[in-house]
Amino acid sequence: MTDQPTALDLPMVDPLPDATQKYFDICQDKLGMVPNVLKAHAFDVAKLDAFTGLYNDLMLADSGLTKLEREMIAVVVSATNRCFYCLTAHGSAVRQLSGDPALGEALVMNWRVANVTERQRAMLMMAEKITLASATIEESDRQALRDHGLSDRDIWDVINVAAFFNMSNRVASATAMQPNPEYHGQAR
């Protein structure tokens, strides 16, 4: 394995700007690594900032969806798209947040067998439909989420998290982005 996080020869800016280096240092302290997806974007700090800004807003900001539910959406989208990087990274996050290694594995392999709530099942169905056929989504699909207690703001968040990971999956797969080895053994 190479030190490059992707198959593209796009070296990180060196030295990184102070704010970026501080962000990478926080990742190293909190996660024990700097995720390769961040390293991959670090050839252009503006692109890295745009990526992390949107990711942090969708995945970490206040929402009617829990962090676990957002990670579950990421895994279902990534499983549908067969994105090795995102399945590995976000499967690890599901295991950590849920404390249930079996949940992470079920979502990766076949989310329909996962032990989830009806609300979560409705969200995951929508995430899969966004991934496979977003143009076919109708009011009845949104209403199904409302019927499970999701507000229109929550539905917006489901849609945006799923859409973000569809984009990220395509970038990760097309660049042969490699997950950090640390993800494989986490929370098992």
Q: Which domain-ending residue is among 40, 60, 80?
A: 60
CATH number at residue 49: 1.20.5.810
Mean per-residue pLDDT, 163-177: 98
Is residue 2 pLDDT above 70, yes or no?
no
Domain extent for 94: 67-174
Examine the domain organization and report whether 77 and 103 are in the same domain.
yes
Token pair 């962000």 is found at: 23
Mean pLDDT of the chain: 96
- Shared domain for 160 and 72, answered yes or no, is yes
- 149 and 114 housed in the same domain: yes
Share of the chain above pLDDT 70, in %: 99
Helix, strand, or coil (residue 60): helix
Number of domains in the chain: 2
pTM here is 0.96
Question: Which pLDDT belongs to residue 1?
Answer: 42
Report d(CA 113, CA 6) in Å as an integer.
Answer: 32
Could you tell me if 120 and 44 lie in one domain?
no
Q: Could you write out the three-class secondary structure of 119-141?
A: HHHHHHHHHHHHHHHHHHCCHHH
